[in-house]
Amino acid sequence: MSIVRAGHTATLLSGGKVLVAGGAVSSSAELYDPATGAWSATGSMGNGREEHTATLLPNGKVLVTGGWTGRAAMASAEVYDPATGTWTPTSSMLTARFFHSATLLPSGKVLITGGDVSFGSPTALAELYDPATGTWTATGSMSTARDGTATLLPGGKVLVAGGYTGSGYTVSAELYDPATGVWTTTGSMGTARGQHTATLLSGGKVLVAGHFTASAELYDPATGTWTATGSMNDSRQNHTATLLPDGNVLVAGGASASAELYDPATGAWTATGSMNTARAEHTATLLPDGNVLAAGGIANSFTASAELYEPPAPQADLEVGLTAQDSGLVISTVTYTMTATNHGPDPLQSATLTLTYPQGLTSPSAPGCTVSPGTRTVTCPIPALAPSASASRQITTQASLLTIGSLTATATRTTSTPTDPNPANDTATATCQAFTTLLVNC
């Protein structure tokens, strides 16, 4: 980036670029272009700020609210227009605040919750911004003053969890209902947290992780309860958590360079490549190509550096099996069954298996497959398979009148997506014995 930043915001715009704004009490903003890997300046905000929020609105513009001036909390808000690269002031919030949360609701309005009105003095007040009118209105206050995370749930409610209350960190959590503007308490976390992350998983649960601890837990909106899940490898705070396209969660930094992946299917964490720079209070943005942009933050000092995380390429280890069954009749047929088993770790998107059948067998019948008599092959498509799932295809052949001796067929994985990491199990064979011209035994 052009300047050092921490406590800034990073917003993926509808055109694919990333808008970074403020941080270190700066008013400047700049754009990252994933196509070129380059940064370019854009219009500056009207006010320098840090620890503010930035929300992508349904019309493609970005709403920035509040923050810290270096001396006091801010109530001002402004809107960035990507079409012109300029900022325009909008109505100020009813309450000046920083370390607050901003959540885009299904209605298109933006819910602002909590935050600090001065250092160590959080508020319970909440308010709504209406992009159609550019105005703010008060809504129900939380039961607890806090600066915790806010997560939009699939049902449209907003979960606020943990945070600093003015006297310490809390385990409490509560839900905001946009239909009524009312907050209700929900189950408490097992561990008091602040400076943690909260990530909505693809299955609808919320993963909360960190705050001077490696522990993590899951919130289930269906029951309103929390359950412990696997702990991270490292204790973290002021880190980032990013939901990846494959459903895993990338957690990075928090005063270190390390990173790790959470797998919701197993509840386990695995280490992944470390960042080049240790950082906290940075941003992490999922790009359209599936990579993650980490920018700015604090290492030993504020940094302008940025780097990209490329998730591991998905892999599906497809094991090929082959069996043969004779008909037991005087005029023999042989039925081959090709089986594909996905040993993971990722889902199989598609594959093809090819049977090469021996001389002496003719007239293969295989519905849905492609028969090539000239090469004595039958190629069959395999549908998408979850890890540990299997699929089979059958091919029936007939023995010719002069068939005798050993008959060996081979099944081979000819294509598959994603990459197969283990070619050792990509082929299987089955052998039958023709004792006479009319009798085949498998």
Can you tell me the distance from the alpha carbon of 9 to that of 208, in angstroms, rounded to the nearest whole number?
Answer: 20
Classify residue 217: in a domain, yes or no. yes
Tally of domains in the chain: 2
Higher pLDDT, 82 or 300: 82
Cβ-based neighbour number of residue 171 at 10 Å: 14
133 CB-near residues (< 8 Å, 6+ apart): none
Are residue 247 and residue 352 in the same domain, yes or no? Answer: no
Q: How far apart are CA 366 and CA 355, in angstroms?
A: 11
Better-scored residue on pLDDT, 97 or 327 = 97
Q: Is residue 387 a part of any domain in this protein?
A: yes
Residue % of the chain over a pLDDT of 70: 98
Which CATH number belongs to the domain containing residue 239 in this structure?
2.120.10.80
Residue 316 burial (CB count, 10 A): 26
Shared domain for 297 and 346, answered yes or no, is no
Q: Is 58 left (phi over 0), alpha (psi -120 to 50) or beta?
A: alpha
Residues 6+ apart with CB under 8 A from 35: 16
Q: Are residues 225 and 326 in the same domain?
A: no
Q: Are residues 212 and 329 in the same domain?
A: no
Asked whether residue 225 is assigned to any structural domain, the reply reads yes
Q: Is the pLDDT of residue 375 over 80?
A: yes
The pLDDT, as a whole number, for residue 148 is 87
* Pair (301, 393) in one structural domain: no
Position 3 scores a pLDDT of 96
Confidence at residue 300, expressed as pLDDT on a 0 to 100 scale? 82
Is residue 389 within 8 A of residue 327, CB to CB? The reply is no
Does residue 379 share a domain with residue 344?
yes
Q: What is the pLDDT of residue 388?
A: 96
Q: Say which CATH number the domain at 382 has.
A: 2.60.40.1530
Q: Are 378 and 357 in contact (CB under 8 A)?
A: yes
What pLDDT sits at residue 316?
96
337 and 301 in a common domain: no
Would you state the pLDDT for residue 330?
61
Structural domain of 287: 189-312
The whole model's pTM is what?
0.82
Note whether 293 and 267 are same-domain residues.
Answer: yes
Q: Give the pLDDT confidence score for residue 313 in this predicted structure.
A: 87
